[in-house]
Chains A and B, each alone.
Chain A
Amino acid sequence: MTRSTSRLAAAFAAGAAATALSVGAAAADFPERPIDYVIPFDPGGESDVTARMQEPHLEEMLGVSVNVSHQPGGGGAVAWSEFQNNAEPDGHEIIGINIPHIVGQPIQRDDAGYATDGFEIVTWFHFTPNTLIVPADSPYETVDDLVAFAQENPQALTIGGSGTFSGNHLEVLRMEEVADIDVTYIPFTGTGPLPAAILGGHVGALMTNSMLGVQMEDEIRTLAVASEERVPALPDVPTFKELGYDIVGGTYRGIAVPEGTPQERIDTLREAFSEVNEIIGEDQVPLGFIMTDYGGDEAWEIVDQVYNNYSAFLEDADD
């Protein structure tokens, strides 16, 4: 895709120029003061809990203290726009980024205040695939059961999830297209209210992240997971692909720095995060996370994939 290839080239040039100017001295000096790690969401969410787990290990590896702070609002957009406008590109200011949020919001809103390609992505450090969940006493035993019902009763099946044009919502839109059904998506504010929605019978199913499937194992049935391969914490749950539905998606969480940050500092940060991943993976994998380490070109490939899969839905929304 042209938008990211041109920006990659620009970033590469900027990185090369910065390297030339600093004559390699920067690598040894970095980091020279505490690192500010901004979480664009409320305390208590997955991004926050992950950052709290990363914090002590990052400090040990980078040799400086790491200050985690929260700047919630607008589904992350408040922090991301503030960051792109004001953060210093010296590697000491880093911010949590999420897919599909940073792809969707700039397309869908006129005044999101930031651009998807205005970040340097350090790494996508983990992935939580979307999962389709029904109550344990639901009549739907398989995805096919649910699809059959939805085909006969347009709009009657309600699927809850977190947020509008979020990962959950986009996956429902994708499923409608792939399975040729028409369901009603009901957005809730965050993942917190979802267990009550499904246990209280207020929605027929949930499209949510994989952690909920692990957390609520006894009360619900997970019909399918939208990853390429099965999730380690849910070994008995088939992927949508196994069942013949081409649905792969979820939320990637990662780290970005401002445009113009020297490349070797990005490399230092990435190295630290991938080593931390090894350690905290022991705690996160059993919860339903899939640990990843996509930096550089690979990171932008992920962005492009999401863009290609969902941009049609998002542009429809921008009216």
Chain B
Amino acid sequence: MDMLLAAIPQILQPHMLITIFAGVAAGLLIGSLPGLTATMALAVLLPFTFGMDALQGLAALGAIYMGTIYGGAFTAILINTPGTPSSIATTFDGYPMAKQGRALEAISAATIASVIGGIIGVTALLVLAPPLARLAVAFGPAEMFWVAVLGLTLIASLSSDSLLKGALGGCIGLILGTIGVSPVGGETRFTFGIPAMQGGVSLIVALIGLFVIPEILSMAARGRAALSAPSDMSLERFNFLPVLRKVISKPVNIIRSCVIGQVVAIIPGAGGNITSLIAYNESRRASKEPESYGKGNVDGLVASESSNNVMVAGSMIPLLTLGIPGAPPDAVILGVLMLHGLRPGIELFTESGVLTNGFILSMGLAALMMLPVGLLGGRLVYRSILKTPHYFLIPTILIVTILGTYALRNNVTDVLIMLGMGVAGYFLRIIGIYAAPIVLGLILGTIAEQGYTQTILGGMADAVPQLRLLDNVLSQILFALVLLALLSALLPRLLSRKQGITGSGPTPPGNE
């Protein structure tokens, strides 16, 4: 507590405030560009922190991280493109809202949710770090396998109009995930003799291809931009307070999403890519009006954005206590800690406690600063997208997309894969196979494969190595959750089919 108090004056100095503000703004800008991830933002901006002392450098990186994850929401809402993988679920309701002329409402709600999520994450980091860290190491290969399978069951609920099409999408994703060097064993698979294919299909490349390209193709096909100016509410008269009231009037939704965000964040490897999807799904399941999700329900948006911003500070728990990066961007933060001679572990909270508390508090400050930065920036971006005619907007988005994809790994093959997947994604969308299940299959297929093979390898000396998949309580609980998720997704469907009720399922999220 003393250290917490000692840290407060340190981070309230003017140069710290400016650093955090600049970090949030820079992160926001980078996060809103498809292809530029939080990991890359941190790596690129890292050299700027070399001239700073440890606290200022860490504060800058924490602020950038926070801003990037939040910035992904902008493009998710305005052009149906998750700027980072963690905002996939934000597109489901954010984009329909924007199309209904409620873009500013969506941006404001996303901002409020992000700020709340960010602050809850920071609080958890301050208060619960040591006990929660134990949970992080409990997830071994077998548990990761079940986590991935549990994630795959989301496909059933993300594709409520046709389970078959959803499953088909998931399978496409699983197959795409096998391209490249296998995670265990090191064989190259499905590279067709092309060296560049050894890198496989990167998640971000798939994300951009499957979300952005179909969107701009249909924009071009319609011959007009997707967003129209709000008819009933002019920009100048947009009122922030009703949105705030609307968001905080449903505290259960926010708390549930934050808890999910926190738990998933500390599982190494799963990270923010799926937190928002799980939180979105649970929010819909708990809602009294699940059919309105995917059509512009602000609760879905809030669930996604609050959970993914919890993750920023949440994933620091295993990092700071045990040196385990909870999400890929944390690896960069770990590098910086080591550069400053700070070893993750209990000393970070004792000997260098003032510094660590300062770093954590600075992330809380960064979360608060998202409010003004985001509301102002959001308005600017929205206005410029609205005022740009579609014949400028489409090529601009296309060029930014191609540049972003190339910048990801400086690889032309990635650009070709992205464009190819985009065109394929456009036609798949027409026949009812949406991007979300494909991306989910791609994310989770690798995790499941790795968890399974590692588990079996670990049981090489046993008679039946497969039993290792269920040899402890945590994996048994996860297995039960998988069964539960499957039942709750499939039973209503089977029952309604028996009774001959049609059209009772909720509509697929994120798409027309």
Contacts and interface: CB of A to CB of B under 8 A. Distances in A.
A44 B195 contact: no
B198 A113 contact: yes
A44 B332 contact: yes
A82 interface: yes
B42 A43 contact: yes
A81 B140 CA distance: 34
A269 B11 CA distance: 42
Given A111-B188, A192-B325, A283-B339, A73 B450 contact: no
A29 B450 CA distance: 50
A165 interface: yes
A70 B43 contact: yes
A112 interface: yes
A42 B44 CA distance: 12
A143 interface: no
A287 interface: yes
B191 A111 contact: yes
A45 B186 contact: no
B183 A187 contact: yes
Interface string A182-221: 0011111100110111011111000000010011111100
Interface stretch (A116-124, A148-156, A243-251, A299-307): A148-156
A43 B195 contact: no
Contact of B457 (A38, A43, A184, A197): A184
B494 interface: no
A200 B50 contact: no
B461 interface: yes
A199 B410 CA distance: 36
B35 interface: no
B344 interface: yes
B331 A82 contact: no
Interface residues of A, number: 64
A184 B461 contact: yes
Interface in B32-65: 39-40, 42-44, 46-47, 50
B341 A286 contact: yes
Interface string B436-476: 00000000000000100010011011000000000000000
B131 interface: no
B185 interface: yes
Interface stretch (B153-161, B214-222, B226-234, B316-324): B316-324
Contact of B138 (A48, A52, A192, A200): A200
B498 to A, nearest CB: 44
Nearest to B347: A218
Contacts of A283: 339
A109 B188 contact: yes
Contacts of A310: none
A38 B50 CA distance: 20
Given A43-B43, A70-B43, A158-B458, A189 B195 contact: no
B328 A202 contact: no
Contact of B335 (A44, A55, A155): A44
A81 B138 CA distance: 39
Question: Which of A52, A156, A216, A286 has the largest count of B CB atoms less than 10 A from its CB?
Answer: A52
Nearest to B199: A73
A34 interface: no
B411 A44 contact: no
B195 A113 contact: yes
B474 to A, nearest CB: 10
A72 interface: yes
A163 interface: yes
B186 A73 contact: no
Contact of A189 (B183, B194, B332): B183
B345 interface: yes
Nearest to A153: B461
B198 A70 contact: no
Contact of B324 (A52, A71, A165, A192): A192
A113 B188 CA distance: 12
Contacts of A164: 182, 184-186
Nearest to B194: A111
Given A52-B50, A73-B180, 9 more contacts: A52-B43, A52-B47, A56-B47, A78-B196, A78-B411, A114-B195, A156-B460, A163-B186, A185-B457
12 contacts: A52-B335, A70-B43, A72-B199, A74-B180, A78-B409, A82-B196, A111-B198, A154-B461, A155-B460, A214-B343, A215-B323, A217-B343
Interface of B: 39-40, 42-44, 46-47, 50, 136-141, 180-186, 188, 191, 193-196, 198-200, 202, 268-269, 318, 322-325, 328-329, 331-332, 334-335, 338-339, 341, 343-346, 409-411, 450, 454, 457-458, 460-461
